[in-house]
Amino acid sequence: MNVLVINAGSSSLKYQLLDTTSGEVFAKGNCERIGIDGSFVGHEERGGEKSKLEVALPDHKTAIKHVFEILDQAGFDTDKIEGIGHRVVQGGWYFPESKVVTDETLGWVREVAPLAPLHNYAEADVIEICRELFPSIGNVIVADTSFHYNIPEKAWRYALPRDVVDKLHIRKYGAHGTSHRYIWRKTKELLGDDVHKLVSCHLGSGASLSAIEDGHDMDTTMGLTPLDGLIMGTRCGSIDPATVCYLVREGGYTIDEVDTMMNKQSGLLALSGISSDSRDIEAGAERGDANCQMAFDMFYYRTSQLIMEMAQAMHGFDTMAFSAGIGENSDVMRAGVAKELEWMGVKIDPEKNKVRSDEPRVISTDDSKIRVLVVPTNEELMIALDVEELLGK
């Protein structure tokens, strides 16, 4: 089935056109700076060159029209697109699984938008535009939170007053669910009956872990929002919640400034003082920069701590899988996290760890108590497979 996957942000729109049978990507790209000066579309075709088309994109509707035009010009008959999958960041209490777009399900995306205002409103608008422009193509909502929806109550509930959490729908929703689901699927394909309790480690510029037991999510590190849990590129992850009050009361920061500080100016960027990108920090640490080394040491420490928290959710684990930008590419970061877990029998093979590949692979030694894998994630394919399941039959 030919599926177009759309990942819309407030000023950007990523797209990927792929075939669910072969997994082959025909084309992908990114509309940037929508509604801002200097907008453009970066586009790439199978086996082709990357191109950058500078074009006015006053709104998302224009951007989507351009995407279809570009695909047509590239020789892909857009009439052959059989479904559109929309990544939705926050599914709230409505999406235990992916759903076909109807007036009702689209309304839910807007209803829960206050939990993720920067994303959900734009995503809902884009879904509406696709329905209007291409009424014959079915649309599917794939929420990033769905996979975490059924974690046990003791894992999702916050110890705040019940009337407050009920009124404002406060709970752990998690994120990266589509990626964690894909990582489980690929791990299961590779290991078969040898995997039951997996700690899935999605380590990109955003990062989260999931405790997955026989395909069911038991806990995850992100919370009400994606700020919780691990130290990330620019996000601080878990800190004492009273820090927020202290910054406002004593530091004189507004609540919006604290929000920006914790989401955009913290994490590896703040610790290293130079960059949010692990490659720059690695180079810094090699030069002997103590702040870069501390950024890495803290990343290893927090990640290994939270891996043990995920293990507790399953009363043990047999496998852990590294994924996303850092997890797939940085042998240094993988080795650093594994070293922290050496005390409990995690051993990775330095040679296997150095291998670069797009395939899922085992990097632990034969005598490691826990199997350690690298599993490249593919959220777009997972979204497209959901579209196929819901619309294909």
Report the residue number, 225 or 278, with the smaller CB distance to ligand ADP.
Answer: 278
Helix H or strand E segment including 362: strand 361-362
Does residue 315 sit in helix, strand or coil?
coil
Give the range of 12-20, 108-116, 185-193, 322-330 binding ligand ADP by CB under 6 A: 322-330
CB of 333 to ligand ADP, least distance (A): 7
Instruction: Select from 83, 138, 284, 325 the one that contacts ligand ADP (CB under 6 A).
Output: 325
> In this structure, are residues 91 and 144 in contact, taking their beta carbons and an 8 Å threshold?
yes
Q: How many CA atoms lie within 13 A of 152 on its CB side?
A: 10
Instruction: Select from 29, 83, 138, 204 the one that contacts ligand ADP (CB under 6 A).
Output: 204
What does the DSSP 8-state code read for residue 357? -
Instruction: Select from 29, 138, 177, 206 the one that contacts ligand ADP (CB under 6 A).
Output: 206
CB of 326 to ligand ADP, least distance (A): 5
144 counts as catalytic:
yes
Does residue 6 sit in helix, strand or coil?
strand
226 binds ligand ADP (CB under 6 A): no
Does residue 85 sit in helix, strand or coil?
strand
Report the residue number, 146 or 234, with the smaller CB distance to ligand ADP.
Answer: 234
Tokens of 95: 């999406």
Q: Which is it for strands 13-19 and 25-32: parallel, antiparallel or unpaired?
A: antiparallel
What does the DSSP 8-state code read for residue 114? G
What are the φ/ψ torsions at residue 222 (nearest 5 degrees)? Answer: -80, 155
d(C-alpha 99, C-alpha 370), whole Å: 36
Q: Which residue is nearest to ligand ADP (CB)?
A: 325
CB of 119 to ligand ADP, least distance (A): 13
d(C-alpha 371, C-alpha 64), whole Å: 43
CB of 201 to ligand ADP, least distance (A): 12
CB atoms within 10 A of CB 195: 22
CB of 282 to ligand ADP, least distance (A): 7
Instruction: Select from 324, 363, 373, 374 the one that contacts ligand ADP (CB under 6 A).
Output: 324
Instruction: Select from 85, 177, 233, 360 the one that contacts ligand ADP (CB under 6 A).
Output: 233
Q: Which listed residue (37, 77, 144, 386) is catalytic?
A: 144
Which positions touch ligand ADP (CB under 6 A)? 204-206, 233, 277-279, 324-326, 329-330
Which are the catalytic amino acids? 144
